[in-house]
Chain A
């Protein structure tokens, strides 16, 4: 296994970490739009308040790692998806400040404004991430210089938009499952009750997207049946998807959350093995213009140095992050420090 492959895997791991962790933050934010009363809203916000920011760091680190390990991908995709990324940044800005601002002024309209900002700021990113992933699976128009030649509107093709919807539903469900562990009584009951609906929507859309992908993506499925990782990941994913409603029904919410987390990880893994060794396939017939893990990477020395940074830093990060999560385990109790 060479350094390029290792870094392809590590970027996938960072994306998985981000999707699982900030994914439930987004879900909580989306559900915030449908909260019944002030107490439910505060419980929701305070369920993620101590951790959301650390979760978002997975995105920053994935961005930095992409820049360091595959600068051509970073440059081409980010400049190509210019307007989409600007919208993503605006959404993330509003999500971040609305939690902090919301409780600071004693006024109904003030709070309502930030409720909406928090809700939309949490809804837009999963959709945009889904659309971006849809486009990458499908391939994007690249010229010989690896520059993006499409437009913002061309990114909003039906396939990519459907992947955006899939992502939205998935993270809403993930957030609802997270909230079952954090809420009590009526609030909790309502979260439990919406999970089956979200689950059915997710499974249906995922099925449609998979069929759609066969027509849209030229090579996503090439050789996948002979890939051993596929034969581990795929059955695990099917099992965890099935067990989500089972565990929710039997009241084992921690396990249900674990299942939805593994589902997310498996979905990203399947996409990664489908793309490999491409990073961003070219939509033109000329696949040579695709960005691969070899033609878009940094030098071997940089990849090696970065590997040391990752091996030194990430175990530490995972260690103290788990420690902090353990402290905030259990139901949300509001006190003077709460938002």
Chain B
């Protein structure tokens, strides 16, 4: 195990590098001279606009959403004591997308912009509560089954909502909601999502010590004086805020909440108090790197982010499933 402090410093450094690389990558070549000139004269040239209004919001969102999803994944895995509990895998992200789709395509969010993240968060909340009630104590299999059912239901209803929109372009946009993208997002999206995600992260941080105790089992945690109901509420609310706000502006980006904690566990151990900040950093790095990769593979084609995260995440998921099988057999 690596000291968490050192790991966080290293993670922070990687995050900074990715931040700068992400600002530098895009279909249009930027001239450093023009940027310096714009910064000096205060007159926004095309290069400056590209940097500050296209690449900066995209990069900020990649970092924020990656951190939020990593954090939510780690917290849900701690609460449900199930290593497969990723918001994408268990259908919570799909439900958020349904909420966002309803708020957006009915025109509600055009009138009240806050309706977009609020609806996504509300649906996410319903999803987490339903899953916790249905399958929270039923072991890995029942959680995944409930998640599969929830995902397909949410996917079907999303498709229905998009088909019912009179706007002819709506039905093509299911790809965005199912696979996620940060293409051409603006600062408005950052402002819309960030406050909710920060609140969610704060709630999850409050729950971390109790989650640590919960690794010993519910009875043992209760005997240590942990308020289980409070912990459950904090995690459900925190995860919903993080997942809902991110899905509202980027669509469903799967596997980040699964990958980040699993990559970090060998380094920091299983205790959620140590795992949560490490997962957040890993998630941020992962999504920023994926978003850079997306732009390098197909600079002008808007390859969906979920494609890249699934290419990395699905093999890991399969590996976990296999390991679970061999463990069950032995």
Do A and B interact with each other, yes or no? no
B residues contacting A by CB (< 8 A) are none
